[in-house]
Structure 1
């Protein structure tokens, strides 16, 4: 496609150069309109085509529909992830249930009671050990039991205090961030599903529509070429010799095939680089062959067909 376009452009430029009169008083070109290419946002199958080539459409009209079943499944997954993240955040912000706090307090009281009993037992064995009534092994066992129950009581107290104080601010912030990430993922997936419905971004005319229902297209494939309904413009090839005679903003008369009266226009842009530059060193004769793409805004030319040949007469 690119090779064909290059060859066609070279042929046009050669023809235009040949069409210039010997004194270089004309610049040739065509009527053009802004062209918008709508591409496939995903690799999916076409399930509906609502328009035909040559049909006029308005901004927002649905043109083509790609299969959205995969997108729907991904949205369901994102919704589930968001619900899970919200539930985890609710657990942290709601605090401890009374039942859990009561159970933790009961466990604390039980371990404290066991710790107190182990302390008394240790004190008794300490006295008996000093009196040499019990051996060192029994004394060591009593001391170990005291230390063990004391540690368990401290652990139970810490657990009860953690439940009483609730979640840390850092944990809540982390859980809140997970919720925001899940919301963003859901919004992104909903936008991806919305993009599967190809709509007209502007008022215009369907120029090319090479696909049909049932075709599977790859990501980035051009689906529709849309010509803008806005005012057309003339694009002509201005010879290098005319660059000093015409500048941006100048009013010019444009002559079209089949129309006797000239069409008023105004030069909107002259490209700074030539459309075609010979590969050899440019001498004076070669420079005269260079062509510069020039756009001309037209007045009262809405009905002119795209591609109509036009020319301007150079001063």
Structure 2
């Protein structure tokens, strides 16, 4: 089997704005045996999303004529036979991932087995899910809006739990008191009024749903180590399941600093790439939960 062509599909077809909300990119790898595989370039939102299209296009030219069943050789070629690939990063990694997923899709179709069989077999019949990003609203009965008051946060928590979720995730710090998202600087020591607003929102949610529903506190890496420690210590008493991306993962020592000073398990991973990126966190034990995004 040989790769004959690769299509790169801009699903939204809208790159008119650097901040267009949803811009998924899909690749379709075609073969001489009539089997095509699909993969996603996992940069569907945010500044830089359009970069994945260009990298996927450049990488595709290297793969024509190769056997899509040789997934490891293809991955190594994309990494080691390109100058920028060996430098890593989210844009390059996402393009590689989309193409890699498509190759595995072909392999599963050619062998007529589910992909999980090729990756070692099924190890569970179900997986726990949580309601995510509740600061933007939740549920058909709740307006999708930027939530401000602790009472609003309590209301959406109740809605999510009423739908059957036994865990929720929320960023209670990045929304200011006027409903502006990610507009204030959360780097450096924060004044009590900012920290207290986040605490009051989270406390309202905990009071609303009781102790038996888990709460994940999302930070989006907006905070540096000092405020992450400030806020983490403040919310320890509220029974947080884990503290997600309290600092950006570019400097593993900062994550370790937070882990050493906050008594909540830490999580990160959607902006950590390849095994080399995860290595320092696994070695120093700072992360209790890793969150790899297979599309990046």
The TM-score, its normalising length taken from structure 1, stands at 0.18
The TM-score, its normalising length taken from structure 2, stands at 0.19
Greater strand content: 1
Larger Cα Rg: Structure 1 or Structure 2? 1
Relative CO higher for 1 or 2, CA cutoff 8 Å, sep ≥ 6?
Answer: 1
